[in-house]
Amino acid sequence: MKNKQTNHLMGQWGSALLLLLTPLAVQATSVFNSTVTLTYTIDEIINKTNPGTSDGLTVTGNFMLDQSSSEIFIPVGSDGTATKLTEVPDYSVDTVTDSFSHTMHVSGNASNGSLDAAYLGLYELSFENQSADEFEIKLTLDYSLRAEVSGDYAESDIIFDYYNEAGGFESDIDGILAYASAPYDLLQTLPGTASHSFTLAAGEFEAIYADASISGSLEASPVPVPGALILFLSAVMIPVLKRESTH
């Protein structure tokens, strides 16, 4: 009888050990979150012809997501998701606007498979002088770039530049790159500011543009449970098995 009980216990514990030694897997999600915030601030508008009035001067601020230069690629079988390419344009017109600000935020994640996404955001602040007066305009651009990634494999980069219609005002930065390989997470930020002043004669037009390119690349797959955990559980169970077999 004792031998039968012992054999039964040995069979049960043997099955348990076999399960432990069978490779286990958990889902490891890879993620990217990237943001570009740009704020145009009009510091001063001076009418050099008729001081105190801005009649005839139109200031327009807008943002749009360039659909033709943005795309999301998710292979068949992947469970990846990303921010949809349907963002509504942000648009503002006001002759006495103090500032225009817009935040472009995109993200993606995948726990099985891969994902590649690219977005191009276009910012613009334009000045149109429909009067017979001459204006002197001073403005400031404040920008904040933030790229964050985590997971099995994740990468996100931001390319940002600004320039003006007339020429002579442009950025000298390339952007930032964030890269992650499990179990490391990485966050990269880049704040900045730039000032510009110009004279707008009667009938003239000027615009300050900024392009923000955000891309993300993710790969994720089931991750085996570390071998050290299996060895630890085995070490705990084997003495128990021996004790049971002696009763």
17 and 38 inside one domain? no
Q: Is the pLDDT of residue 35 over 50?
A: yes
Do 152 and 47 share a domain, yes or no? yes
11-34 burial, b at 16+ Cβ within 10 Å, e below that, comes to: eebeeebeebeeeeeeebbbbbbb
Do residues 34 and 17 both lie within one domain?
A: no
User: Residue 242: is it exposed, middle or buried by C-beta count within 10 angstroms (0-12/13-18/19+)?
Assistant: exposed
233 in the same domain as 220: no
Task: Reply yes or no on whether the pLDDT at 105 is more than 70.
Answer: yes
Q: Are residues 17 and 112 in the same domain?
A: no
Predicted local confidence at residue 180, as pLDDT: 54
pLDDT digits (tens, 9 = 90+) for 41-82: 999 999 999 998 889 999 999 999 998 999 999 999 999 999
Residue 184: band (very low, low, confident or very high) from pLDDT cuts 50, 70, 90: low
Q: Which range, of 24-28, 77-81, 105-109, 189-193, averages the lowest pLDDT?
A: 24-28
16 or 136, which is more confident: 136
Q: Give, to the nearest 10 degrees, the angle between helix 2-21 and helix 227-246.
A: 180
- Mean predicted confidence (pLDDT) in 78-96: 81
Domain containing 161 equals 27-224
Q: Provide the β-strand partners of residue 149.
A: 32, 186
User: What is the pLDDT averaged over residues 28-35?
Assistant: 90
| Residue that has been written with the tokens 């001459």 in this structure | 134
Question: Per-residue confidence at 174, pLDDT binned at 50, 70, 90?
Answer: low
Confidence of residue 198 (pLDDT cuts 50, 70, 90): very high
Are 10 and 114 contained in the same domain?
no
- SS3 assignment, position 19: helix
* One domain for residues 118 and 74: yes
More confident position, 175 or 18: 175
Note the pLDDT of residue 149: 92
Q: Is the per-residue pLDDT at 10 higher than 70?
A: no
14 and 118 assigned to the same domain? no
Residues 60 and 171 in one domain: yes
d(CA 146, CA 104): 10
- Parallel, antiparallel or unpaired: strands 90-93 and 57-65: antiparallel
Q: Between 2 and 30, name the one with better pLDDT.
A: 30
Specify whether the CB–CB gap between 123 and 87 falls below 8 A.
no
- As beta bridge partners, residue 174 has none
84 within 8 A of 67, measured Cβ to Cβ: no
Asked if residues 84 and 160 have their Cβ atoms less than 8 Å apart, the reply is: no
The pLDDT score that the predictor gives to residue 49 is 95
Phi-psi region of 151 (alpha: psi -120 to 50; beta: other; left: phi over 0): left
Query: Are residues 34 and 45 both part of a single domain?
Result: yes
3-class state of residue 174 by DSSP: coil
- Bridge-partner residues for 197, per DSSP? 138
Number of domains making up the chain? 2
Query: Within 10 Å of residue 86's Cβ, how many Cβ atoms?
Result: 7
- Tens digit of each residue's pLDDT (9 = 90 or more) over 113-167: 999 999 999 999 999 999 999 999 999 999 999 999 988 899 998 988 899 999 9
Choose the weakest-confidence range: 163-167, 182-186, 195-199, 217-221: 182-186
Give all strands (DSSP E) within the chain, no chain letters.
25-26, 30-47, 57-65, 71-73, 81-82, 90-93, 99-110, 113-129, 135-150, 153-164, 176-181, 186-200, 205-220, 223-224
Residue 125 shares a structural domain with residue 168: yes
Same-domain pairing of 93 and 149: yes
**DSSP-derived secondary structure letter, 69:** G
